[in-house]
């Protein structure tokens, strides 16, 4: 009897204090199949390691496969906001999917933690916050190394979609400011199995370096194509290629490649003074204990960091509303903007009202493929 009474008293106290009792529902949209599955599967694997509670509230997670298809991603996002009434949408890692998901987030008033560097029109990212570093931030790291290497001309080989186009725009702008010129530009679709024609044109232009904009295992094919056509210059890859799939598929052809990444991928090689070293090592240890040595991945790191963000923002939002309500979703969005400096596995984040990217230009880390492994440059 005393135990039952204590429970009733505790429940009443919780109600009076305004503490929420509803589940926090997270909708995850990710490419578990399709061209971007090499990024989506590791992120999905990290989701399985998430805690089951945040700030004392039970967490309910719904994971659905967008198959790297924008139409599928849009349908999933609409289901999340109309049927599941999620408190936050996470994903997609595929930029062409994350962008239309952002539109659903905006229309429904649901916060989105994007796992891709989705570039949105001005005024359209009120509800979208990015977990990856922007292409501009990563391009800054790339250009820095290119300048040290004396690179003056670059050939571009990238996706025809939003990820490829945003990289071309941001990289070209940063390159121009630093006296580096993009002298040849070729594109290909994510589903293409050959880029022979594009590679021949780029090799003929003979730039000092090549920038390949592709993702996961799909980044190996264009890389191999330019090497097989006799290119001897430096080859750079973006953070979407910061995966061991690049080495697994590309083999010796990708030896010497330069890949920009967030710090989580090379946690042990970070300086002891690096603010993210401790968190990055915690991510790597947790992930590789579950999935094996060397299984760490850039996008699994973003999924890990997403939970750190929620663990900081949710207590702020709970002071204003209960999960499962429009008021809580709005409070959570507001909390992201005011939670302040947050140390993640992938860097130090600080979102504000005017900045939903949050990383400083120093966040990007340049890696080199040496003997089939990553080495910090």
Q: What is the tens place of the pLDDT at every residue in 144-202?
A: 999 999 999 999 999 999 999 999 999 999 999 999 999 999 999 999 999 999 999 99
Query: What is the structure's pLDDT at 4?
Result: 33
Query: What is the structure's pLDDT at 8?
Result: 35
How much of the chain exceeds pLDDT 90, in percent? 88
Place 97 in a pLDDT band, splitting at 50, 70 and 90: very high
Tens digits of per-residue pLDDT, 301-340? 999 999 999 999 999 999 999 999 999 999 999 999 999 9
Which whole number is the average pLDDT over 59-87?
A: 98
Which whole number is the average pLDDT over 231-260?
A: 95
The span from the CA of 176 to the CA of 153, in Å, is: 10
Query: What is the structure's pLDDT at 290?
Result: 98
Sequence spans of domains, the chain: 2-133+288-358, 135-261
Q: What is the gyration radius of the CA atoms in the chain, in angstroms?
A: 22
Which whole number is the average pLDDT over 335-348?
A: 96
What are phi and psi for residue 175, nearest 5 degrees? Answer: -65, -45
Query: What is the structure's pLDDT at 217?
Result: 85
Query: Is residue 104 over pLDDT 90?
Result: yes
Query: Is residue 207 over pLDDT 50?
Result: yes
Query: Is residue 9 over pLDDT 70?
Result: no
The two domains 2-133+288-358 and 135-261 share their CATH topology (first three levels equal):
yes
Query: What is the structure's pLDDT at 177?
Result: 96
Which whole number is the average pLDDT over 354-376?
A: 92
Place 293 in a pLDDT band, splitting at 50, 70 and 90: very high
Query: Is residue 11 over pLDDT 60?
Result: no
Instruction: Give the architecture (CATH level 2) of 135-261.
Output: 3-Layer(aba) Sandwich (3.40)
Query: Is residue 363 over pLDDT 70?
Result: yes
Tens digits of per-residue pLDDT, 273-291? 999 999 999 999 999 999 9
Query: What is the structure's pLDDT at 17?
Result: 42
Place 21 in a pLDDT band, splitting at 50, 70 and 90: low
Query: What is the structure's pLDDT at 22?
Result: 77
Which CATH homologous superfamily contains domain 2-133+288-358?
Response regulator (3.40.50.2300)
Place 361 in a pLDDT band, splitting at 50, 70 and 90: confident
Query: What is the structure's pLDDT at 46?
Result: 98
Question: What does pLDDT average to over the chain?
Answer: 92
Query: What is the structure's pLDDT at 19?
Result: 45
pTM: 0.87
């Amino acid at each position: 009897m005393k135990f039952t009474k204590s429970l009733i008293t505790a429940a009443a106290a919780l109600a009076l204090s305004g503490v929420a009792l509803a589940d926090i529902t997270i909708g995850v949209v990710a490419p578990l199949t399709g061209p971007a599955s090499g990024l989506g599967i590791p992120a999905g694997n990290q989701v399985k390691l998430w805690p089951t509670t945040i700030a004392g509230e039970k967490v309910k997670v719904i994971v659905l496969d967008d198959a790297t298809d924008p139409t599928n991603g849009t349908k999933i996002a609409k289901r999340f906001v109309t049927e599941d009434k999620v408190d936050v949408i996470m994903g997609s890692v595929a930029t062409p999917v994350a962008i239309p998901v952002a539109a659903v987030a905006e229309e429904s008033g649901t916060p989105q933690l994007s796992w891709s560097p989705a570039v949105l029109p001005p005024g359209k990212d009120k509800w979208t916050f990015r977990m990856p570093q922007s292409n501009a931030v990563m391009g800054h790291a790339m250009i820095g190394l290119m300048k040290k290497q004396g690179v003056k001309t670059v050939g571009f080989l990238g996706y025809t979609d939003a990820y490829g186009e945003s990289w071309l725009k941001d990289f070209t702008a940063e390159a121009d400011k630093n006296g580096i010129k993009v002298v040849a530009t070729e594109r290909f679709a994510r589903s293409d199995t050959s880029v022979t024609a594009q590679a021949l044109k780029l090799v003929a232009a003979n730039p000092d370096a090549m920038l390949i904009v592709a993702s996961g295992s799909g980044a190996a094919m264009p890389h191999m194509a330019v090497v097989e056509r006799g290119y001897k210059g430096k080859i750079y890859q973006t953070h979407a290629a910061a995966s061991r799939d690049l080495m697994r598929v590309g083999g010796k052809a990708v030896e010497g490649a330069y890949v920009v990444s967030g710090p989580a991928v090379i946690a042990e090689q970070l300086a002891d003074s690096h603010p993210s070293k401790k968190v990055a090592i915690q991510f790597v240890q947790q992930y590789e204990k579950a999935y094996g040595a060397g299984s760490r991945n850039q996008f699994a790191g973003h999924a890990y960091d997403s939970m750190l963000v929620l663990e900081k923002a949710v207590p702020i939002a709970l002071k204003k509303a209960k999960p499962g309500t429009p008021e809580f979703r709005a409070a959570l969005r507001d909390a992201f903007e005011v939670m302040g400096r947050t140390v993640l596995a992938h860097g130090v984040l600080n979102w504000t009202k005017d900045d939903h990217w949050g990383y400083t230009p120093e966040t990007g880390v340049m890696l080199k493929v040496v003997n089939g492994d990553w080495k910090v440059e």
